[in-house]
Amino acid sequence: MIIRAAIIMLSLVGLGDAIYFTFAYYGRVRKAAWVPTILCAREGSNCVTVVQTPWARVFGVPNSLLGIVYYLTLAAWALMGPRVDLQLAGAVVPLRWFFLAASGVTVLLGSYLIYALLRKLHTHCPLCYLAHGINAVLLGLLFLFR
């Protein structure tokens, strides 16, 4: 029960982060006076710089949009329980394996993106680090969620 609650909570925090980055990607929070400095989505900030790079998109889609889908489906699945499976062409596919694979991909991609931020862009983005940290913890929790 604790693992399920942690997955749901982290998914919701990740969802908030992904929604925020989606707004930043589409230029909806750049000049907003209400945006705290720590969120850094202001003109010329590191976060805005990050969302404007080619690394901010996978398959032409903003990473944050993929994150929204990932976090929403992961939270919904965790709410339903780990034994929920998917029926595909008469075969039963455990959704747990799907989410483990998706989570593994997010951690691998996140590792590369952190490398790109630190080595190639020479910048730091606290919200990026938060998202990648959440993804790493979620991967660990998914191994335990049964």
* CA–CA distances in Å: residue 48 to residues 55, 75, 126: 12, 27, 12
- For the stretch 34-56, pLDDT in tens is 556 666 655 555 666 677 777 77
Is pLDDT of 2 > 70? yes
Comparing CA positions, the residue from 98, 74, 104, 71 lying closest to residue 86 is 98
Distance CA 91, CA 114 (A): 38
Q: Hey, what domains does the chain have and what are their CATH numbers?
A: 2-144 (1.20.1440.130)
Q: Tell me what pLDDT residue 33 has.
A: 59
Q: Tell me what pLDDT residue 58 has.
A: 78
Q: Tell me what pLDDT residue 55 has.
A: 73
Q: How confident is the model at residue 29 (pLDDT cuts 50, 70, 90)?
A: low
- For the stretch 67-123, pLDDT in tens is 999 999 999 989 887 666 666 666 666 788 889 999 999 999 888 888 877 777 777
Largest CA distance in the chain: 54
Is pLDDT of 132 > 60? yes
* CA–CA distances in Å: residue 21 to residues 3, 82, 83, 94, 117: 26, 29, 32, 31, 15
